[in-house]
Structure 1
Amino acid sequence: MTTDDLDARAAALDAQHAATDLRDRFLLPDGVVYLDGNSLGALPVGVPEAVESAVREQWGRDLIGSWNTHGWWDAPERVGDAVGRLVGAAPGQIVVGDSTSVRLHQSLHAAAALRPDRSVVLTEPGSFPTDQYVIAGVATQVGWRVEHATPAEIGARLGSEVAAVVLSHVDYRTGELLDLPGITAAAHDAGAVVVWDLCHSAGALPVGLDEHDVDLAVGCGYKYLNGGPGAPAYGYVAARHHAAFVNVVPGWNGHAEPFAMAGVYRGAPGIARARIGTPPMLSLLALEAALRAFDGLTIDDVRVRSLSLTRFLRDAVAAVVPEAALVSPEVDRLRGSQVAFRHPDAYGIVQALAARGVVGDFRTPDIVRLGVAAPYLTHADLVTAARTLRDVLDRGEHLNPAWSRRNVVT
C-alpha cells in the first residue's frame, strides 16, 4: 500500500465496517485520535448519567436502602455476568470488585490449593511487572519455585512439579496474542492449572474461557471495557472449581451468611465465595453502564473490526514511516488489538503525537504503543495518526528537550 492509496483504502474499509462503528456511543474530544484505549478506555455516553443517578438518587435519596432497592448487593455478580458475555463465561463464574493485583493474588493462592502436591509456578519473564511481583510474592507464601519460559517454551517445560501456569493473554508491549487454547490444553495434560491475565484482551477479542476449559482468570475494567480510571477488576473461577476454591482473602462479602456476623468464616456457595469486602459501588456501577456500549454487538464483531483496523494501521505505518521497526505480529491470529514499533526516541514521539491530538503511549525502553479500541476508531483516524507520525519525525518535534526521558519522573 502506497501513501497515495491510504485515503481511498480507508474510506472503503470504513464503509465495509460501518455497521460496527460505535463512535456515537462514546464521548471523545473533537480532533483527537485516541490510541490509548488499551491503557484507559474512552468514556461511554451512558456513564455520566449512570454515575449521577448513583450519587444523587441512589446514594443521595435512597441512602442505605439502595443495597436492596437498587441491587447494590448483587452488583459484583451481575456485572460479572456482563463481563462474562464478552470473555465467554457462562453466568455465575465471574465476580467484580477490588484490583487486578488482589484478584491475581487470590487466584494464585486458589491454584496452589488446587495442586497442593506441586511446587513450581511457570510464567513468562516479560509479563507485566505487577504480575511478576504478585507471582513472586505468592510463591514465597506457598512454597513455590518460580520458573520462567517464553510462550514457545511452555510446552517443553511442563513437568510433574508444575502447579500453575500464569500468563497474559496479550503481551502488553508488542500486542502478541498467545495461544490460550493450546497452552491451556497442554497445561491440563501435564496436570497443572492455568491462570490467565485478560487485561489486554477482554473487550477486544474473543477469549472463550468456558470453551477452552480455563481454570482461573483475572482482568481489569478500565482498558477495553471502558469502565473508567481505577474501575474494579474481575476474577473468573470455572464452575467445576467452585467447591474447592479457597479464598485467601476471606472478607465478609464472601461469607455464606454475611449478615449473620458469625465469628468463623464459611465460604458462600458458587462464585460468591470469591467476593471479599464491600465493593466500590460508584465505580462498579460506572463499569456496568460502560459495558452497555457493547449492546447489540458480539465480541466476534469487535474482533473482525479490530483486525481490519490493526492490519490497516500496521500497513499505514509501514508505508508512511518505513523506518519504524514494527514489533506487533503481522499475522492476524497472532495479534491482539494494538500496533507497536520501536524507536530510540519513543518517549518523545509519544509526547509530540499527543501534542498534535494523536494519543498513544510509551513502554520502556523504546516502544511506541498504539492501542486500537475498535468500537470508536475508524480507518480514517488511523491515516491521520500515520501522517501525523511522519510529520512529527520530519519536523524533529520528538527531539524537543522537554521530552527527554531524563526529565521524566518514574
Structure 2
Amino acid sequence: MITPDVLIIGGGPAGLTAAAELAGRRAGKILVVDREQDAGGIPRHSDHTGYGLRDLHRVMSGPAYARHLLQAATAAGAEIRTSTMVTGWADADTLDVTSPEGRYRIRPRALVLATGARERPRTARRVPGDRPHGVYTTGQLQNLVHLHHRPVGKRAVIVGGELVSWSAAVTLREAGCTPALMISQYPKAESYGAFNAAGRTVLRVPVATRSRVTRIIGKGRCEAVEIEHLDTGRRRTVACDTVVFTGDWIPDHELARAAGITLDTGTLGPLTDTALRTSLPGVFAAGNLLHPVDTADVAALDGKHVAEQVVRYLNGERPSDQGVRLIADAPFRWVAPQLLRPQDPAPARGRLLLWTDEFVRFPKVTVRQDGRVVSRRTLAWPAAPGRVFRVPSGLLDGVSPTGGPVHIGLR
C-alpha cells in the first residue's frame, strides 16, 4: 500500500502541470502514474510546433513541450511512475495498480483524474465497408510515425476538418504520404480559418465539405473510400491506401464511471464545479477528460487551476452543498464546468467552455435562469463546430445561487 498525499492519474499536460504546482506548493508527497512508457501525453508524439502559447508564453514543438512539463514536475519534487496502469478501485479510497514492479494499491488523501480523451476509431463511427490495413486515428498515426518510425502509405484521405486534422496532414507529409483529400461534414472545415488557408496553400490539401465517408474499400490494404455529398446525395470514389479518422472525441472516463462519479451527459466526462471537484469527495478532474477536446496549453492551465483547489481540500476546506447547474442549450452540445457554487473560484482562465454544432460568425450568448435573461453579450469571435467556444464567466455574475438551472444558449 502506497499512501501519497495526492495521486494524479495521467501524465499529460494537465497532470504534469498539476504535479509541478502541487509539489511547488509543498502539498506533501505527489505521485503521478501514467500507463505509457514515457510521460508527456499526446504532445510527446505530435512532432510539430504550436505548443505552450497560453501556459508558457512561448511556442515549441510537441515533444519539447512534453519534456519541459515533465522536467518541471520532477524538478519540483513530484514522483512520476510510467508503465503503470490503474486497473480499478479496491474501495472508495483505494486504487489497484499494475506495473512492471508488480501489483499494489494506492490510497491518496486527494485524487486528480487527468486521463484525457481519445478519438473515436472507425468502428465506433460505424463506417461500413471492408476491413483493410491502413486505417488509423491521428493518435495511432503519430505514434506509428514519430515514436516507432514506421512507414505508412503513399496517398491518404483525412476524415475530419478540425485542428487535429491538419496535425494529421503534417504527420502524413513527414512520413512521405500525400494527403489527397480532407473530408468535413460541415459547410466549412472546422479548424481556424488561418489553419484552413495555410493547409490548402502550404500542404495543398483540398477539402470536401458537407461530405461523409460511406464505405472503405480494399482487400488486405486500403484501396479507396466512397464519399457522399450530404446535400445532393451524389457519391464518388477516391483512391487512397491510407485513411485517418480525426477528431470526434470521447473522454477516457472509465475510472470515473467505475467509481460511480456523476458524468455530464454532454461531455461524457465527470460533472464538475468551477473548482473542478467531482461528485466524489476528494476526487478532482482536469484537462480534456472534462472538455473533449481543447488544446494542450488549456489542459495544462486546468492542471494549474486544480492544484490550488486540491491544496484547499488538503487544508480542510469543503464546498457548500448548494449549487446551480449550468445547461447548454442548442446549438451548444455541452458546457464545462457544469456546476456553480457560492464562494467558489471562477473557472480556469475565467472562461466557460462550450461546444457548438453550428457555425455562428457573431454569436450573441444569452444566459437565462427561471425564465429571465441574466445577461446577454455579442462576442467578437465565432462559434464553430470542431473547436471549443470560450465564453467569459462574468456572464454568470447575475445568477442567483438559490435559483433554478442556468441555461446558456445563442440568440
Q: Relative to total residues, which structure has the larger strand share, 1 or 2?
A: 2
Q: Relative to total residues, which structure has the larger helix share, 1 or 2?
A: 1
Q: TM-score, normalised on structure 1?
A: 0.30
Q: TM-score, normalised on structure 2?
A: 0.30
Q: Which has the higher contact order (CA 8 A, sep 6+)?
A: 1
